[in-house]
Structure 1
Amino acid sequence: MNMQIAERESVAMSSQSAGQPVVRNDEANHDLSIRVRDLNLWYGQTQALKNISIDIFQKNVTALIGPSGCGKSTFLRCLNRMNDLIRGVRIEGLVEMDGRDVNESRMDEVALRRRVGMVFQKPNPFPKSIYENVAYAPRMHDLVSRKAEQDELVEKALRDAGLWNEVKDKLHQPGTSLSGGQQQRLCIARAIAVQPDVILMDEPTSALDPISTATIEDLMDKLKKQFTIITVTHNMQQAARVADYTAFFHLGELIEYNDTKTMFSNPHTKKAEDYITGRYG
């Protein structure tokens, strides 16, 4: 390893230990959304995350990249305690929102998951009407009371998800009757209907065709004006297109966290460079 690469890696490691990106995006918002420090996770005896420290900024898209099995989705699930549903998981370290550790015993997990919504890899609409897919959770969380309020919220969520014009005349048809891309946008509408602060997306376009993928990417760019978005992707081009910041994971470690343009043009670590240029992964 030459001296220049060694110096760049030293800067990257110092930045990662502080939880900060190596290079700041001057156009990005830097109000803190989620602060993670020294996060470790085990599945039984197997350690899947190792000393992860990262600051996620509000109203940005942060992409998590890295080879399969490197800890990206595991990390994502730590942010709204979805890993609690997996037997044998043990977690140490800090995941903080608004000065509170989300893993503290007093944390209301239901309330946390309302604030930190999730969109999964495969579209999973409820076996309900399009309308009820969106209206159900806000009603359960007492976000709406009157029917008129509910109608207004459903329309707004579907508009924000770029789906309203396609479904406004068939709101009472099953959500499962929609195409794959439409179903994923319905799931996004369902997530944003409860007015979260953060939206987690676990490979949200991997099961979609290129046209639907482009639609979701455009939607992410619009939604970041309202929400913090953290997305897992194996698509390097997608990360380059949609993300303000990119975090590269490898074997459970955060190797580099950087402004996306810098990550893809001048990565500060050899491992990130090798992965981005296709030498492995």
Structure 2
Amino acid sequence: MSGHERSRHASSRPEPGQPVTRNTDANHELSIRVRDLNLWYGQSQALKNVNIDIYQKNVTALIGPSGCGKSTFLRCLNRMNDLIPNVRVEGLVEMDGRDVNAPKMDEVALRRRVGMVFQKPNPFPKSIYDNVVYAPRMHDLVSRKAEQDELVEKALRDAGLWEEVKDKLQEPGTSLSGGQQQRLCIARAIAVQPDVILMDEPTSALDPISTATIEDLMDKLKQQFTIITVTHNMQQAARVADYTAFFHLGEIIEYNDTKTMFANPAVKKTEDYITGRYG
């Protein structure tokens, strides 16, 4: 790259907190576009003018202190906040050129495309098999038993769980260990073939071995899905995320590719958080 090109590239770098493309040569396709997103719980504003571009088949980590808006933002992407009383949302959350908050948006269809894995494993009180096949049946994605069997095996294989449970598919999902239950919930989420998987601190309740298993799984799943994860673990963000957004008091302070942010943060507040000076 010539000196002129380097200068031009540096001058085009967006301000912290604004949408960013890690590498123009990577040709990442846009998955979700967010502009001027604001959210209130009653009179309390939880998100303030959030702008971010999230790219397909990457892991994007949301970091920041407790109560800074990370999980609230995550729930904006599949309208889970609609289930909370007195929530008001303004701004644009766009997928495929469509505003997910538009009145005509089918929320059920949206949540099929944008699946969610929660902090605490929450398998249904059903068999392992029925946990995986329940949503595909509801959405009429499978009908014949052979189709259901094939889907269950594929989802469990993709979630790294098949070999451990293939001989006990009719046993309750709740009979599994915590780490296995979380992978079952991931299998349940991917069984309907979403475009995006949201993960709200998916390893915070797990032991180190199960955590490492889930992290490896995220790295494999991003070949098929866009993954957005909330984490308080800076080492985890550095290990698994292609992009990282740092939230503070409802705002995105800095957003960049993870290696750049962790090696050379543009904002001192980001550096202080990453290095453990507060949070």
**1:59 paired residue number:** 57
**2:252 paired residue number:** 254
Counterpart Cα distance in 1 of 2:269 and 2:13:
12
Matched-pair contact (CA < 8 Å) for 2:115–2:194: yes
1:228-267 mapped onto 2 (5 Å cutoff): 228-267=226-265
Cα shift at 1:30: 1.4
**1:16 paired residue number:** 17
Counterpart Cα distance in 2 of 1:258 and 1:193:
31
TM-score (norm 1): 0.93
Counterpart Cα distance in 1 of 2:194 and 2:82:
20
Runs of 4+ in 1 over 3 A off after TM superposition: 10-13, 25-29
Q: What SS class does the counterpart of residue 230 from structure 1 fall into?
A: strand
**1:222 paired residue number:** 220
Matched-pair contact (CA < 8 Å) for 2:37–2:48: yes
1:45-124 mapped onto 2 (5 Å cutoff): 45-124=43-122
Amino acid at match of 1:154: V
Cα-to-partner distance string for 1:31-77 (whole Å, 9 max, x where unaligned) = 00000000000000000000000000000000000000000000000
Cα shift at 1:27: 8.0
Q: What SS class does the counterpart of residue 231 from structure 1 fall into?
A: strand
Amino acid at match of 1:91: V
Counterpart Cα distance in 1 of 2:27 and 2:260:
17
Cα-to-partner distance string for 1:197-224 (whole Å, 9 max, x where unaligned) = 0000000000000000000000000000
Question: Aligned match of 1:150 in 148, 151, 154?
Answer: 148
Counterpart Cα distance in 2 of 1:12 and 1:270:
18
Cα shift at 1:20: 1.9
Structure 2 portions without partners, runs of 5+: 1-10
Amino acid at match of 1:208: L
Amino acid at match of 2:76: C
Matched residues, number: 269
Higher deviation after alignment, 124-133 or 270-279: 270-279
**1:185 paired residue number:** 183
Amino acid at match of 2:35: R
Counterpart Cα distance in 1 of 2:265 and 2:148:
47
Cα shift at 1:92: 0.1
Cα shift at 1:13: 6.5
Counterpart Cα distance in 1 of 2:214 and 2:24:
25
Amino acid at match of 1:190: R
- The share of aligned pairs that are identical, in percent, is 87
